[in-house]
Amino acid sequence: MYAILTYFAASKTVDFVIDGIEEFMGITIISEKNEEIRLAIIEKMGRGCTIFKAENGFAKEGETRKPVDVVYTVITRLEMSKLKTEVDKIDSQAFMIMTSVKDAKGGMIKKKPIKKFDK
């Protein structure tokens, strides 16, 4: 039993040494309140995001599909709960897809400091 535990701990340590401790997650959010979610990601979390143009695919035959904006962002695994909380505050019915990202480069991968503006 101790041997299995030792091998598991050693494999996780090797993973951290090779891949680093930060694990990135790609989050796709589909919501009618996409603009508010976009602003929350940028202003409250200090992350960037991309907006995709899409159409709802669940329209019945003969009905026109509604256009929708899809929000995509890359965050660390440790920020996942904060993002879920922010999205739930805005739209509890939002559809979220979370995928593991092996590697990411460029853009706003590193967190940007949140600037406070005086109004």
Nearest to 83 by CA among 32, 55, 52, 49: 49
3-class secondary structure, 44: coil
36 CB-near residues (< 8 Å, 6+ apart): 90, 91
Task: Indicate if the pLDDT at residue 92 is higher than 80.
Answer: yes
Is the full-model pTM beyond 0.75? no
What digits encode the pLDDT tens for the residues 98-119? Answer: 998 877 777 666 665 566 555 5
CATH fold label, 20-101: Alpha-Beta Plaits (3.30.70)
